[in-house]
Amino acid sequence: MPITVRDGDSALADAGAAKAAGADLVELRVDEFFHGGARNAESPEEREIVRIVSECPLPCIVTCRPVSEGGVYDGDDMSRVALFERLGTAFGTGEHPPRYIDVELATYTRSANIRQKIGLAIEHPEQVRDLTTSLILSLHDFRERPADLTRRVLAMRDETAARVHKIAYRARSLRDNLELFELLEGRDRPTIALGMGEFGLMSRVLAPKFGGFLTFASLRAETVTAPGQPTIRDLLGTYRFRSIGPGTGVYGVVGWPVSHSLSPLVHNAGFEAVGVDAVYLPMPIPGARLAKSEEDPPAHADSGPADLEASYLSLKATLLELLDHAGLSLRGVSVTIPHKENLLRLARERGWMIEDGAQRIGAANTLIAARDAAGRLGQVRVINTDAPAIAECLAAAGPLRPGAIGVIGAGGVARAAAYALASAGTTVEVYNRTPDRAAALAEDLAGLPGRVAAAAPGAMAQSCCSGYINCTPIGMSGGPSPNESPLPAGLLRSLPADTVVMDTVYNPVRTPLLRNAAEARLRTVDGVGVFVSQAERQFRAWTGSEAPRGLFERIAREHVVNPRSDAEPRHTRRERP
């Protein structure tokens, strides 16, 4: 988004970089640079801002946001207005005016004098001079949706001199995006309606679907000027912003946290490769405990019964509202921690179709929502693609020695693994630190062709399975024990060489478990393959098409090995006034 002006040359360099990165408009945030004060004589700062605007390689918005509206300008209103007047009438040699100035509704409606002075700098229906700068009238709330939003939007509509309206507030849940979309749909002139924060990303990316005038993106991750702002690289690259329109189908990954999920990278690349008009977004839905802030998400899954109920209600309220929104046309979601069991419960409650595997596993990771041409919701189906993905990856390691497979853990992934193996007739031994959960898993999966047995956690050290699958977060970077292995190195060294050791953890790719297993010369299978295979199955369920062979694998491996640092900001305009 905006370029923070600290000095003329670096601002112009950033504007050049924004142009090179694909922006078609930049916002020059001058509130740090301009201090006001010299109302009658032109100050050096004012002269420099005129120069920056005139030499800017892209059309620009000039914004001098006061402290009261989340900016840093602490001078007086009339100095700021005098700057706008100077900019709007900058027709001297080598000078030209900005395309827009942005003035807050609160400032603009504060006095007739301010309105009259701003009116001297912009084009508007009563303007007698030949001016070209247009007014963006804006309102912001960095904390929440303003309680008097409707009143303020109506007040904006009364101001006929404004060519564009901008409404930005902190989204407190994904549902706030839906109201922002309704503001766009009900607009009376070009409108920007954006949710700030992680929950608001949807409103930024989907702005063109609802006729939004522009969206803001940052040149680099560190230059983000509003929370939740994507980088231009994400917006144009990952989310293919330029190709989004009214008919674009919407998909996403539901869970908490999801901001670092690999799924948007692979699915969006898949849509592009097979020519599907669709976009895939992170869709954060917290579990029981709402994060104190987005920078401090809850690190652990929900636990007690009250937590589990709150987590379920959180998913239910948000997902049903997203599905019911005909304009959004949500066609499918991937579901991850902590909502896989919640999705299955919701499917049972709503009478959606449930695949047998998901039913037996007790968890679903994929929702497929059929829609008619008008976007009306048809049949909804839930499936579990983790189970066949685990089976596929294990099979790819080659024939297994006869014998049981040890599944370590008893959570959602362990259930999927045990179900897949036992369905194919394999005997499964479940090792979990909480024996009751292992026993419950075995009981739930009784009656499948292969036997599922709960083993005492201590029995693992003496076990000799033909293969082991780690389904705990042990060894995961950022997890509870990133440097540990769920299987002791001594046990690994004692196993026959044809034993297969598989990790579902894929960050890092070579976990301590896989490193130890490789040192013991055992066969190893990493977790990236499971991620890729479950994602490819979701893609096929949604689009009816295969993702190009190797595409998801290449993207996932590249990203896991070399997580990307972020690139460049700017503004992307969708519509000209």
Please report, as ranges, the residues that interact with ligand NAP according to CB under 6 A: 301, 337, 409-414, 432-434, 437, 471-474, 476, 480-481, 504-506, 527, 530-531, 534
CB 437, min distance to ligand NAP, A: 4
3-class SS of residue 480: coil
117 vs 103: CA distance, rounded Å: 12
| Minimum distance from residue 413 beta carbon to ligand NAP (Å) | 3
Of the pair 218, 470, the CB lying nearest ligand NAP is at 470
8 Å CB contact between 193 and 203: yes
292 part of the active site: no
In order of 35, 124, 427, 448, 506, the CA distances from 421 in angstroms are: 69, 70, 7, 9, 20
The amino acid that residue 64 corresponds to is C
For tokens 């059309």, the residue is: 59
- Phi then psi for residue 382, to 5 deg, are -125, 140
- Our CB check for ligand NAP shows the closer of 90 and 265 to be 265
Q: What is the DSSP letter of 126?
A: T
User: Cβ 306 to ligand NAP, closest distance in Å?
Assistant: 17
Spatial distance between the Cα atoms of 156 and 137, rounded to a whole number of angstroms: 7
Please identify, using beta-carbon distances, which residue of 30 and 266 lies nearer to ligand NAP.
Answer: 266
Q: Please, what is the minimum distance in Å from the beta carbon of residue 542 to ligand NAP?
A: 17
Nearest to 52 by CA among 84, 93, 96, 92: 96
What is the distance between the alpha carbons of residues 425 and 343, in angstroms, rounded to a whole number? 28
Q: How far is the CB of 340 from ligand NAP (least distance, A)?
A: 7
162 versus 476: smaller Cβ distance to ligand NAP? 476
Check residue 500 and report its DSSP letter. E
**Cβ neighbours, 10 Å, residue 38:** 14
Calculate ∠ Cα 473-475-481, nearest 5°.
Answer: 80
Q: Closer to ligand NAP at the Cβ: 127 or 481? A: 481
For tokens 């007040």, what's the residue? 155
Which of residues 114 and 414 has its CB atom nearest to ligand NAP in the complex? 414
At 336, the amino acid letter reads: T
Phi, psi dihedrals of residue 53, rounded to the nearest 5°: -60, -45
Apex 104 CA angle, 194 and 52, nearest 5: 90
Cα–Cα distance, 436 to 414 (Å, whole number) = 14
The active-site residue out of 166, 209, 316, 340 is: 340
Cβ 350 to ligand NAP shortest distance, Å: 23
String of DSSP letters for 204-251 = HHTGGGGT-SEEEEESSGGG--STTPPBHHIIIIIS-GGG--TT-EEE
Which CB sits closer to ligand NAP, 52 or 410? 410
Phi, psi of 14 (to 5 degrees): -65, -40
Residue of minimal CB distance from ligand NAP? 411
- Comparison of 36 and 527: residue with beta carbon closer to ligand NAP: 527
Q: Smallest gap, in angstroms, from Cβ of residue 14 to ligand NAP?
A: 38
β-sheet bridge partners, residue 252: 281, 333
We find the least distance from the C-beta atom of residue 431 to ligand NAP, in angstroms, to be 9
Q: Which residues are catalytic?
A: 340
